Structure 1
């Protein structure tokens, strides 16, 4: 949120002689304000604009949970909201008529650290009036959440304030706005309760006028940097990962195709076949899992072992071709004007020619609606995308893509893959990553999909999709009442 610089346009009279006249003039100005701009507009009015009614889905997948499940979900949702209460930007309603200039939001301090309340002062329009009176100018500051204390950095003004190093500070000067502004410029806030992220609200009052300054108390996150090495080539930047199950001919074909185009790149394979066959090939790491442990469990294992900045996800029945240009993926991530976590490609033939004629054929949009206590609503729209990426005309912003993509390792680790989805899973990850992962789909990188259903054991497990159980799990986990495809 941009800093609120609220100018005292209500102080329109010339010289007045008493505080009472000033106050009556301000009250008169306030009565002429529209209700939506008046300082009496409440936080409740803001909250009333938030959706609270039931949403609806145009789908047969209206998910019904039993009473006990709904009660457990309600408890878990409240706990989730509590933990995430400080992560969003606060709603800061700035009064239309105020004698203060201030920064309403954007001040940050570390837990148990200190910061000045930058930008706080009486506006010049108010100064011209207050300076020409004999009134005592009194400003009260109060820490609403009691997470810290207020203090005046310089001791030059000891006679002009009370409550130093407490949650309530009172400043008083006689008819000297310049001196008051000098004191205001020295006011600081010190966090006194350790929490890696919380928010303090400091109420500042002059007569009946109040403004709120939001201080974000946050422990800074440290970067996780990947060293590309001196060469900075694709082998030290990207790792190819895949999960296999009872399809050794397919995965060996994939490895051979990768080695043909990128002989030095690392390949990670997670394998939960019943009787694993050893795969011992150059630059290949083969991880054996418990039998039929699952699709997303394998993805989690693989991502945990990636040591490069990016990884490429491929299914075990994909084949690299001339169209599988990994450098084209990387250039999207490293463009200085583009911020993206996930770039999806498309499918092509054995010669590397893209087989999808439409732009971003595999793109998906997730349309979300807030609901009531029965849950929210979500629609997964296939072959839908947002607008074109300005720097890359062959790419479009989306909420999901086909199952061939490159991603930032650190970004995907923050979301993870839900191991509940053992046999089939794709769009489920996009639901979990909604609002966290910045995704685009591009048509300038493709791979061949050479489907392999030759193993009856593989086919048997794949068909065991347990759709009803999946939907109930998604409903509980993502607080949904219905899902549209």
Structure 2
């Protein structure tokens, strides 16, 4: 009887405490109830989550359009109003030849992939709670050389017969320690097995496992499989010949004349070229100037530190660029058009400082005060080709340099690392009008910037002299592309860059 009375009293007290707590601090009770409800649904199989609609995922796109996640091929779409798309699949040829061109491009692309694609692009997922230790990045060996593989180990409680297996696709394994018979099997082979009842012995051997490259390749990757019990891991070993370093001597004085060469191309307009040279000499009297000239009646350009290279008549815009930059011997080159004009704001030292202190390969600046910058977006496609999109503006500011930005395309006034320009090059098949094509070729290998604290002038259009007016008229005729020439330009881009479309802002 007394026991029942005590239970009743404690029950009443408990209810009072519950109701007082509910009145004074209802949020605690609510949180506890919510927690209990949520806890019932912690089984992953009980959850069904709906994906957000695509119009709410635009923030994931670098250019503020639809996100490309899950898409197997880029689409030739307009990113925003005011853009135009060039479809490279519309050929200016007979239909009978179209399939032959596509087949040739496909074969060339397959050869390109064999030479350039790396197995390291494979996504490797690490297992949860794996007992394996292994290198995730940074293992490199030169072709036909050997290295110790760092970081290999197994952890946990060993069994009576523990087995660890390493498997490669290109190289072979060895050990540099002596072991008992039957412990290590497969020395000198692509598959190495270590067996022991003692994990300490296995780990000691793993510390002394070597990998040997067996084929001479400039760049390749071997994916190594590392297995213990039911656990398997993969890691990459980079096989490559380190690129040879090429340095440019800035000279004992490290002067602008030892660092920079000015390059340009001229065609017919010697009156413009001489104005440019005179303006350069006003501010940089000793700097080297290199000229590529494909005029029909060449005129000799006299003066110290000037090199003029004569080309076949109308050989072309990019061919002339290639010739001029091929003769540069300084660390940097400055590209200028023949109708530009240096002013007191043309401070090359400022552009040199940017390239010296950043990882940019090329930095442009305004011409006559006009800004000109575009950013390029590249997306992989399908068998029909890839896509490139162009937008006004920049990716972001350049750290440490106010007024400078990181972008993709700048105007024809830029300072660049000579060696980088050599690597990208100017395709000589673009003979008349070309600009974007050079920067498209540089996607993925050339980092471009732009600074507004340096400017170059542009000479006034039109001349009063009748003879010079005729020269300008003749020059303009070569600058214009007819419909077939424009289509041929698209056809070359289609094949060379394996593109199916290029989308850009309307000019």
TM interval, short-chain normalised: 0.7 to 0.9
Work out the CA distance in 2 between the residues paired with 1:179 and 1:51: 49
* Residue number in structure 1 paired with 2:307: 285
Aligned to 1:267: 289
The 5 Å alignment of 1:64-463 reads 64-65=90-91, 66-86=98-118, 89-123=121-155, 126=156, 129-130=157-158, 133=159, 135-143=160-168, 145=169, 147-156=170-179, 159-174=182-197, 176-335=198-357, 338-348=358-368, 355-356=369-370, 361-381=371-391, 383-452=392-461, 454=469, 455=471, 456-463=473-480
Change (3 A) 1:276 1:442: same
Secondary structure of the residue aligned to 1:300 is helix
Structure 1 CA distance, aligned partners of 2:120 and 2:302? 48
- Contact 2:120–2:223 (Cα < 8 Å) also in 1: no
The structure-2 alpha-carbon separation of the partners of 1:439 and 1:277, relative to structure 1 and needing over 3 Å to count, comes to same
Q: Which moved more, 1:195-204 or 1:322-331?
A: 195-204
C-alpha contact 1:54 1:374 (8 A) present in aligned 2:
no
Q: Which has the larger radius of gyration?
A: 2
SS in 2 for 1:268: strand
More displaced 10-residue stretch of structure 1: 268-277 or 86-95: 86-95
**How far does residue 54 in structure 1 lie from its aligned partner after superposition?**
4.9
Q: How does 1:45-60 map to 2 (within 5 A)?
A: 51-58=71-78, 59-60=84-85
Work out the CA distance in 2 between the residues paired with 1:249 and 1:88. 55
Are the counterparts in 2 of residues 54 and 372 from structure 1 also a CA contact under 8 Å?
yes
Contact 1:343–1:442 under 8 Å retained in 2: yes
Pair 1:271–1:451, CA change in 2 (3 A): farther
The secondary structure found in structure 2 opposite 1:483 is: strand
Give the Cα separation in 1 of the matches to 2:235 and 2:251. 46
Aligned equivalents of 1:403, 1:112: Cα separation in 2: 45
2:37 is matched with none
Cα displacement (A) at 1:204: 1.4
Q: 1:208 offset after TM fit, Å? A: 2.1
Which structure has more helix as a fraction of its residues?
2
> Separation in 1 of the partners of 2:449 and 2:455?
14
Backbone CA RMSD of aligned residues: 2.0
Q: 2:493 aligns with which of 457, 461, 474?
A: 474
> Residues 192 and 279 of structure 1: is their aligned pair in 2 closer, same or farther, counting only changes over 3 Å?
same
Deviations 1:143-178 (A, max 9, x none): 1x2x2210001124555211111111110111x222
CA–CA distance in structure 2, aligned partners of residues 167 and 73 of structure 1: 36
Q: TM-score by structure 1 length?
A: 0.83
Task: Assess if the C-alpha contact under 8 Å between 1:112 and 1:190 holds in 2.
Answer: yes
Structure-1 separation of matches of 2:495 and 2:188: 47
Name the stretch that deviates more: 55-64 or 198-207. Answer: 55-64
Unaligned runs of 5+ in 1: 1-31, 35-47, 349-354
SS for the counterpart of 1:444 is coil
**What is the deviation of 1:264?**
0.8
Cα deviations by residue, 1:77-110 (Å, 9 ceiling, x for unpaired): 1111111113964432222232101113321000
- Unpaired segments ≥5 residues, structure 2: 1-42, 46-67, 79-83, 92-97, 463-468
**3-state SS of paired residue (1:256):** helix
